């Protein structure tokens, strides 16, 4: 490898480092301190460490820095550990980003990190005590090292890729499709660009490819801040308007092809007043999860959005009243089942109204008004029942 390429390789890595530093600084300066954001920051940091170490590695291999068994071993050991950490923590970040409730449990996250930790320790042991299995007599890495180097990271990234693609093509997730595809693109990019790099191309394909896909993923996550409600993870009102506009463009204005369902939590103000706003937020998240799970299991695969406050809107691609009523009953049943299992001192329920609309904005707006009126009639019935029961 000639000197010009060596320094071009280093410059490319450092350019990518600068981009990752910019993303990391911007992320650290943000107000979002959720667990997923902390994992994202560590992933960015590991990219930076990997690219810096990769630059040192090529300088060592081309003897611009001392090339001996210690320096070669140390550089390759760090590359392996950084890649293990990057793949593992990227998988955890993606599962948190995609609202996998199991990953909220620290024990589950620790179990997922265990293979990466074990293989990191294994790399250290092999480099310290069985060095020739990793570095040959000419100070090049062995095939055994390469196999070990890619094994666990490949498993983590394949899991992230497959799960993201499955989510992307789930009809319920149409609004999040770009985000899920961006995730799978990053995972695929690691494999594709890594293969191209090992083919000996005179371009630092891996660092450029990895950076481009990560920047795209980062920009997609910024777009989510515009379209996703940060508390519940549901679509926000702006995304609802975009979705309805798209649906109307592709529907027959003379036919009723959609229905709108409106939900408003009962006694939500009392939950805030009695138990505090933090508990109120937990109630909103719990309600949104109930709605999301119920709609996700329904054949209509409806679109869900937080309309504002404790109000939610569901858009169904049907005007069949029986299908809509079935979904509403399932939502009410899910609330009741959640209350039976809940350890909180309050119960969650929702007043619900619905109406169908044709393929025009005006028809949709009138349907929202009709659904809202039905909702408040339902809420009045709820409060009358409460009074009769002495509550």
- Each residue's pLDDT tens digit, 138-148: 999 999 998 99
Tell me what pLDDT residue 130 has: 95
| Topology of the domain covering 3-227 | Rhopdopsin 7-helix transmembrane proteins (1.20.1070)
| Topology of the domain covering 237-388 | Alpha-Beta Plaits (3.30.70)
Tell me what pLDDT residue 143 has: 93
How far is it, in rounded angstroms, from Cα 294 to Cα 302?
10
How far is it, in rounded angstroms, from Cα 292 to Cα 52?
43
pLDDT digits (tens, 9 = 90+) for 211-227: 988 888 888 777 666 67
Instruction: Return the closest-CA partner of residue 146 out of 60, 203, 67, 76.
Output: 76
Domain spans in the chain, listed from the N-terminal domain onward: 3-227, 237-388
CB burial readout 364-385, b (16+ within 10 A) else e? beebbebbbebbeebbeeeeee
Instruction: Return the closest-CA partner of residue 209 out of 220, 195, 223.
Output: 195
Instruction: Return the closest-CA partner of residue 150 out of 190, 189, 183, 114.
Output: 190
Output the CA–CA distances (angstroms, integers) from residue 379 to 116, 269, 351, in the order listed.
52, 14, 5
Instruction: Return the closest-CA partner of residue 160 out of 33, 34, 39.
Output: 39
Tell me what pLDDT residue 373 has: 92
pTM of this structure: 0.68
Task: Report whether 266 contacts 382 (CB < 8 A).
Answer: yes
Residues of the chain with pLDDT under 50: none
How far is it, in rounded angstroms, from Cα 75 to Cα 390?
73
Tell me what pLDDT residue 33 has: 61
């Amino acid at each position: 490898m000639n000197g010009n390429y060596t320094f071009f390789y280093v410059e490319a890595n450092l350019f990518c480092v600068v981009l990752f530093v910019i993303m990391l600084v911007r992320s650290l300066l943000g107000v979002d301190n959720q667990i997923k954001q902390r994992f994202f920051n560590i992933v960015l940091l590991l990219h930076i460490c990997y690219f810096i170490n990769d630059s040192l590695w090529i300088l060592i291999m081309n003897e611009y820095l001392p090339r001996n068994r210690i320096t070669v071993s140390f550089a390759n050991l760090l590359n392996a550990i950084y890649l293990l950490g990057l793949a593992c923590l990227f998988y955890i970040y993606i599962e948190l980003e995609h609202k996998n409730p199991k990953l909220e449990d620290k024990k589950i996250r620790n179990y997922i990190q265990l293979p990466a930790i074990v293989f990191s320790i294994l790399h250290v042991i092999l480099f310290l005590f069985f060095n020739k299995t990793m570095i040959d007599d000419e100070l090049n890495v062995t095939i055994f090292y390469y196999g070990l180097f890619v094994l666990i990271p490949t498993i983590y990234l394949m899991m992230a890729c497959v799960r993201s693609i499955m989510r992307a093509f789930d009809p319920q997730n149409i609004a999040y499709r770009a985000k899920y595809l961006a995730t799978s693109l990053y995972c695929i990019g690691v494999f594709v660009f890594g293969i191209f790099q090992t083919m000996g191309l005179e371009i630092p394909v891996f660092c450029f490819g990895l950076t481009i896909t990560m920047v795209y993923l980062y920009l997609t996550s910024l777009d989510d801040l515009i379209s996703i409600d940060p508390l519940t993870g549901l679509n926000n009102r702006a995304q609802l308007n975009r979705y309805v506009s798209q649906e109307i463009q592709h529907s027959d204005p003379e036919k009723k092809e959609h229905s709108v369902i409106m939900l408003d939590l009962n006694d939500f103000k009392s939950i805030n007043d009695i138990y505090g706003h933090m508990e109120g937020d937990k109630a909103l998240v719990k309600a949104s999860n109930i709605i999301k799970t119920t709609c996700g299991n329904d054949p209509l695969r409806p679109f869900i959005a937080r309309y504002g406050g404790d109000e939610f809107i569901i858009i169904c691609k049907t005007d069949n009243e029986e299908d809509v009523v079935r979904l509403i009953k399932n939502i009410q049943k899910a609330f009741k089942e959640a209350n039976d299992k809940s350890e909180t001192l309050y119960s969650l329920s929702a007043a619900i109204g619905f109406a169908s609309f044709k393929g025009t904005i005006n028809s949709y707006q009138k349907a929202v008004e009709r659904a809202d009126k039905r909702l408040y009639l339902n809420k009045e019935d709820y409060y009358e029942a409460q009074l009769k029961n002495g509550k």
